């Protein structure tokens, strides 16, 4: 493979600049690594739904920084992971998803990447965290110290924030970031990121809010928003749609009544306003509002409602309420399945899934409170077509919380167990690979990613627990 790459490089050298040539060589090496370690499937893959019996096994666990460091004594990939990645009986998409997530967790916690030769690449940074959260193919790096050159052009409403870098899964620098902050959301290709800047709450009104767009060449664009207030922001995986939703007006007013309805601004990836939507309910602040990968639907927390589902293309909306006999206090954990066929809802509520074709709802009664004093927090994630669904529910009463995980294949409950790691403080989720073959257990706050700020003793993006669903 190296001989082939060398030959290609010779052919390209005469027509590319030095920078372009280096970038091309690195891209070829990345493709070669993937071809060797994650080969395309040459045999038909049997879906999980064709089996009647399943076994859920734990592949890996790291609860502390020290455990994660010790696990890499022999480098990357782990022997079990290399064997898994080469297994062509497993869908390629699932193996790729697993490799990128493991790499992201290592770089986020240890500030170490592994290049295409499997050598460690150490990065001196204040923080490293994912930009796009599902695939985690690009990592945002806030370099150590203050790195804004004197006189550099900065966003009006965020001049006090540092600048950063964009690294791919192998530690190669592929872009620059105007604002490397965890509340930003990035498209899958890494070309555009969004964050709301400026703005304020009713308690501190009046500051102008902006829709801030950041591009991978380090450029940025701030677009002033008409409604003064506090905003949440998100962008779709394909980068086609960015949504900025007003969650608090910037002037003192009652949250009740028609007067409190506030807008959602829909932009294209270049920062051009496409439409303004005013839902019939007051929206509430979300860390990362959930948007479908194609940008069609936005799901948002709503005041005195389970959620509001907004059609970003047609400008319509649907308030998602619950039956009277379903427990529902605060619904604030949403995710679309990878193929956008289902919307999963959780929070301080009964877990549920919504079929996006007909909007029928499936409720998971086992995630309701066990007694009147328990305040469960449930997170629901599913694979393509809702084949595999993972429910992770906090049980017990403070300070004696524990986490219960339940796995479904279609309507069959195949697994139920406690997560035994000492992780009671932060909300835990079990995410599912695209075709349901792997389970990745990680704190919800894993996307925030500031371990070095707090010191190793207070890291909150561990544990990392990986499990596999095998058919029998």
Residues 338 and 295 in one domain: no
Tell me the CATH number at 443. Answer: 2.40.128
Domain-embedded: residue 77:
no
CB 344 within 8 A of CB 331: no
Verify cis geometry, omega within 30 degrees of 0, for the bond prior to 165.
Answer: no
Q: Which two tokens stand for residue 8?
A: 């290609």
Counted domains in the chain: 3
Residues 297 and 336 in one domain: no
CB 281 within 8 A of CB 300: no
- The partner residues of 297 in beta bridges, in order of sequence, read 311
Residues 22 and 52 in one domain: no
Final residue belonging to a domain, choices 291, 321, 351: 321
Residues 313 and 385 in one domain: no
Residues 277 and 341 in one domain: no
CB 438 within 8 A of CB 423: no
User: Cα–Cα distance between 180 and 158 in angstroms, integer?
Assistant: 11
- Label residue 375 left, alpha or beta by phi (over 0 means left) and psi (-120 to 50 means alpha): beta
Residues 341 and 410 in one domain: yes
Residues 203 and 234 in one domain: yes
Residues 160 and 256 in one domain: yes
User: Cα–Cα distance between 309 and 243 in angstroms, integer?
Assistant: 13
Domain that holds residue 30: 1-37
Domain-embedded: residue 86:
no
User: Cα–Cα distance between 392 and 387 in angstroms, integer?
Assistant: 17
Backbone angles phi and psi of 413, in degrees to 5: -80, 110
Domain-embedded: residue 157:
yes
Residues 331 and 291 in one domain: no
Per-residue pLDDT of the chain (472 residues; tens, 9 = 90+): 444 444 544 554 455 565 566 677 778 999 999 999 999 988 888 889 899 899 999 999 998 889 999 999 999 999 999 999 999 999 999 999 999 999 999 999 999 999 999 999 999 998 899 989 999 999 999 999 999 999 899 998 888 899 999 999 999 999 999 999 888 999 999 999 999 999 876 556 678 999 999 999 999 999 999 999 889 999 999 999 999 999 887 665 544 444 467 899 999 999 999 999 999 888 887 767 899 999 999 999 888 778 899 999 999 999 888 888 888 887 888 999 999 999 999 988 899 999 999 989 999 999 988 776 677 889 999 999 999 999 999 887 766 788 999 999 998 999 999 987 665 556 789 999 999 999 999 988 776 655 544 444 455 678 899 999 998 7
The 10 Å Cβ neighbour count of residue 14 is 7
Domain-embedded: residue 446:
yes
User: Cα–Cα distance between 8 and 364 in angstroms, integer?
Assistant: 55
Domain-embedded: residue 111:
no
Residues 299 and 420 in one domain: no
Which residues have C-beta within 8 Å of that of residue 7, sequence separation ≥ 6?
none
Domain-embedded: residue 116:
no
Residues 165 and 294 in one domain: yes
User: Cα–Cα distance between 340 and 292 in angstroms, integer?
Assistant: 6
User: Cα–Cα distance between 468 and 433 in angstroms, integer?
Assistant: 10
User: Cα–Cα distance between 48 and 51 in angstroms, integer?
Assistant: 6
Domain-embedded: residue 305:
yes
Residues 316 and 329 in one domain: no
Residue 55, burial from CB neighbour count under 10 angstroms (0-12, 13-18, 19+): exposed
User: Cα–Cα distance between 247 and 289 in angstroms, integer?
Assistant: 11
Domain-embedded: residue 109:
no
């Amino acid at each position: 493979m190296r001989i082939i790459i060398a030959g290609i490089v010779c052919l390209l050298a005469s027509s590319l600049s030095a920078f372009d040539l280096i970038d091309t060589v690195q891209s070829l090496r990345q493709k070669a690594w993937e071809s060797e370690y994650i080969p395309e499937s040459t045999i038909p893959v049997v879906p999980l739904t064709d089996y009647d019996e399943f076994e859920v096994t734990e592949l890996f666990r790291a609860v502390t920084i020290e455990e994660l460091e010790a696990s890499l004594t022999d480098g990357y990939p782990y022997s079990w992971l290399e064997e898994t990645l080469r297994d062509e009986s497993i869908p390629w998409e699932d193996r790729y998803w697993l490799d990128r997530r493991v790499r992201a967790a290592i770089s986020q916690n240890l500030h170490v990447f592994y290049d295409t030769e499997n050598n460690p690449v150490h990065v001196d940074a204040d923080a490293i965290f994912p930009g796009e959260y599902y695939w985690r193919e690009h990592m945002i790096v806030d370099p150590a110290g203050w790195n804004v050159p004197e006189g550099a052009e900065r966003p009006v409403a965020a001049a006090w924030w540092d600048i950063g870098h964009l690294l791919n899964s192998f530690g190669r620098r592929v872009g620059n970031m105007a604002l490397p902050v965890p509340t930003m959301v990035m498209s899958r290709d890494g070309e555009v990121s969004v964050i709301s800047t400026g703005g304020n709450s009713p308690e501190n009104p009046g500051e102008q809010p902006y829709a801030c767009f950041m591009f991978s060449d380090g450029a940025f664009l701030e677009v002033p928003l008409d409604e003064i207030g506090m905003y949440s922001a998100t962008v779709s995986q394909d980068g086609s749609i960015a949504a900025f939703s007003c969650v608090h007006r910037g002037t003192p007013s009652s949250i009740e009544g028609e007067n409190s309805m506030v807008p959602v601004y829909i932009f294209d990836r270049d920062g051009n306003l496409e439409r303004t939507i005013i839902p019939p309910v007051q929206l509430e602040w979300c860390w990362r509002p959930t948007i479908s990968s194609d940008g069609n639907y936005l799901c948002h927390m709503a005041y005195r409602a389970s959620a509001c589902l907004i059609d970003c293309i047609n400008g319509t909306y649907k308030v998602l309420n619950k039956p009277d006999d379903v427990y529902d206090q605060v619904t604030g954990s949403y995710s679309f399945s990878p193929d956008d066929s289902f919307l999963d809802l959780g929070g301080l509520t009964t877990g549920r899934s919504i079929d996006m074709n007909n909007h029928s709802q499936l409720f998971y009664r086992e995630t309701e409170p066990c007694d009147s004093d328990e305040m469960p927090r449930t997170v629901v994630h599913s694979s393509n077509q809702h084949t595999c669904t993972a429910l992770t529910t906090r049980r017990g009463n403070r300070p004696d919380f524990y986490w219960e995980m339940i796995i479904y294949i279609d309507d069959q409950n195949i697994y139920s167990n406690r997560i035994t790691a000492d992780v009671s403080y932060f909300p835990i989720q079990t995410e599912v690979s695209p075709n349901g073959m792997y389970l990745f257990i990680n704190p919800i706050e894993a996307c925030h990613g500031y371990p070095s700020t707090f010191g190793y003793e207070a890291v909150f993006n561990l544990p990392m627990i990986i499990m596999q669903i095998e058919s029998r």
